[in-house]
Structure 1
Amino acid sequence: MTETPNAKPPICFYYGNGRLVDLAAYPRVVLQPSFYTGAELKYLTGEGVETLAYLSLSEDQGPPAPWQRQEKNPDWGGAFVHVGHPEWVEHVVGQARAAMDAGFDGLFLDTLNVELTFPEDVPHLLTLVAAVRAVAGDGYVLANRGFGMLPRLAELVDGVVFESFSARWTDEGYAPWPPDVLEFHAQIAEQLLQLELDLYALDYADTPGLTDFAIRRARQFGMQCVVSDRALSRV
C-alpha cells in the first residue's frame, strides 16, 4: 500500500492480522479489533502509531439479531440493520467502548452511507455517531464517507475517508469510475474541502497506471491517497 515508490502514505487500512513491524512504519493504522491483543496495540503505540478500530454502524456480520433487516449487502453479505434499534445502539457503543478499553487510540466508522439504502435512518445514524464520539473522547474518529450526514458529521469526527474516490473494484477487476461518477465525486470533494477535517482517499487498483491516476487525482482535491486491494490486505 504505497503512495510513491519511496514513501508511505500517512495511514494504512489493513484488515488482516499480524504484520506489526510493517504497520509500525505508518503514523496511523485502521485495524480489525478482534485481530490484535492489548500487547500488540501497546507495541504499535510505543512505535508512535495511532491505532483505529474498525466499527460498522449500519451493517451486521453477526448471527441473526432483532435489529437486523431482511435485506443484506450484496457485496459483503452482512445484514442491514435498523440503526435506531436500542439494542443495536447498545451493541455498537459496547464495541466502541471495548476497543478503546483494549488500547486503541480511536475509531474508524464504516457503513455510513444509509442515505443510499434507508434514508429514514440518517437521523438515527447521526445520533449513533455522536454516541460513539462520546466513547472515543479525545481519541481520533475517522468516518468513511457518510456524505448524507454533512455538515453535521463534520462536527463529530476528525477526518473523512472518501472510499473509491477515483478507482474501484468490479467483477472484471479494478477500473476507474466513468466520467459522470468522477464528476459527481469531484463535487462532493469540493464540499469536503470547505470543512476543517483531515481528508483521505481510499482507492482500489492493481496496476501502476491506475494507482498513479488515483493518487494524482486525490491530490488535486486536497486528499492524501491510499491505494489497496479489495480485501485491504496490503501493508
Structure 2
Amino acid sequence: MSRDFPETARPGVKVQPPKAENNRWKTMFTLFLVLLMSPIRWAAYYSDVPPAGGFRDFQMLILDSVYHPPLDELSRGRTLLGYISVGEIEQTRSPFKPAKAKGVLAGENENWKGSFFVDVRSTWWVDQVKIAVRHALDQGFDGVFLDTIDDAEYLEDKDAAVFRGMKDAMVRLILEIRREFPAIPIAVNRGYAIVPKIGPSVDFILGESVFSDYDFASKSYRRVPQKDYAEQVNVLKAARQRNPKLNVLTLDYWDPKDAAGISRIYREQRTNGFSPYVSTVELDRILREPIP
C-alpha cells in the first residue's frame, strides 16, 4: 500500500468538532465502540471513483485521504479512515519536492516505483504527517490508517549506521499523533517490531499479506510460506492478548477470479479471530466475499 498528503492545515492542533457536528461525533463514537467489541466487515479502496455496487455491507472503510469518493453519504452508519503513508511518499504527492530538497528521502521502493522511503527522524516530516492527519479529519474522515510504518524497521535493519533510531522515531511519531488527536480511531499497518510500544495507543492493527500476497516478479498471487504465516498470526494474536481492545484486521491479496480461494482466506482468518478483507493488490476495486 502507498498514497498521501495535502499542503495546508496546521499540525499540532487537537480535534475540536464544532457544536453542529456533536451529534455526528456521538453517533460515530458509538459505532466505533461497536467495531472494537466484535468482528467487523471492512474494505480498503484507493480511488476517487465510486465502485460498482457501492460500499454496501461494510462497517468500516479505509480510503485514500486525498483521492476518494464524496464522504457525506459514505459516513452514514460506518467509520471512515483516511489513508496516510508515514514511511514513504510518492513523487506525485505535493510534499515530494520539498521533502527531496530537505534531504529526507531515503531511496526508492523497488516494489512501488515512484514511491520513496522517508527519514521519519526528521521533525519537518513529522509536521507533514500531522498536517495530513488534520486534513483528513477536516474532510470528514473519523480517523486515520497509518501505512508503511514498518519501513522504519526495514531501513534500520538494512543499515544501522545510517538509519539508527528510525524505529524509535516511528514510535514517537505515532504516539505524538495520539497525543495531538486523542479521540480519533487510529489503525496501523504491520510494524510488528514496534507494536509492543504503540499497541495501547492505537485501535486497529492490520496484518497485510498474512495468508497470501502478490509476487511482483512473477506478477501472480501466491500463498505466504507456512512459517511466515504462522509467525504473523502469532504476532497479531500476541498484540491483542496484550491489548484486549485492539481489533486485528487482515488484508490478503488473491486472484479475483478464484472464488473458492477467496472464501478459504476468509474462513482461515475468521478462525484466527481476525476481521479479514481480500482484494487485488491495486486496491482500486471492491472485491466482495463470495456467497456460499
Short-chain TM bin: 0.7 to 0.9
Structure 1 residue 184: deviation in Å? 1.9
Structure 1 residue 24: deviation in Å? 5.0
> Which residue type is aligned with residue 156 of structure 2?
F
Structure 1 residue 75: deviation in Å? 0.9
Partner of 1:31: 63
Gap regions ≥5 residues in structure 2? 1-39, 91-95, 158-164, 287-292
Q: How many residues are aligned here?
A: 224
Is residue 2:246 matched to residue 1:210? no
Pairing of 1:1-235 with structure 2 (within 5 A): 10-19=41-50, 22-23=54-55, 25-36=57-68, 40-45=70-75, 47-61=76-90, 62-63=96-97, 64-77=100-113, 78-113=115-150, 114-119=152-157, 120-170=165-215, 171-172=217-218, 173-194=220-241, 195-196=243-244, 197-206=246-255, 207-235=258-286
Structure 1 residue 91: deviation in Å? 0.7
> Which residue type is aligned with residue 198 of structure 1?
N
* Contact 1:52–1:108 (8 Å) recurs in 2: yes
* Contact 2:45–2:283 (8 Å) recurs in 1: yes
1:124 counterpart SS class: helix
CA distance in 2, matches of 1:97, 1:36: 16
* Contact 1:53–1:104 (8 Å) recurs in 2: yes
Q: Note the aligned Cα RMSD (angstroms).
A: 1.9
Which portions of structure 1, spanning 4 or more consecutive aligned residues, are displaced by more than 6 angstroms? none
CA distance in 2, matches of 1:102, 1:137: 18
TM-score, length basis structure 2: 0.71
1:34 counterpart SS class: coil
Gap regions ≥5 residues in structure 1? 1-8
- Identity value in percent: 25
Q: Deviations over 1:140-161 (max 9, x none)?
A: 1111111111212111110111
Partner of 1:6: none
1:35 counterpart SS class: coil
> Which residue type is aligned with residue 50 of structure 1?
T
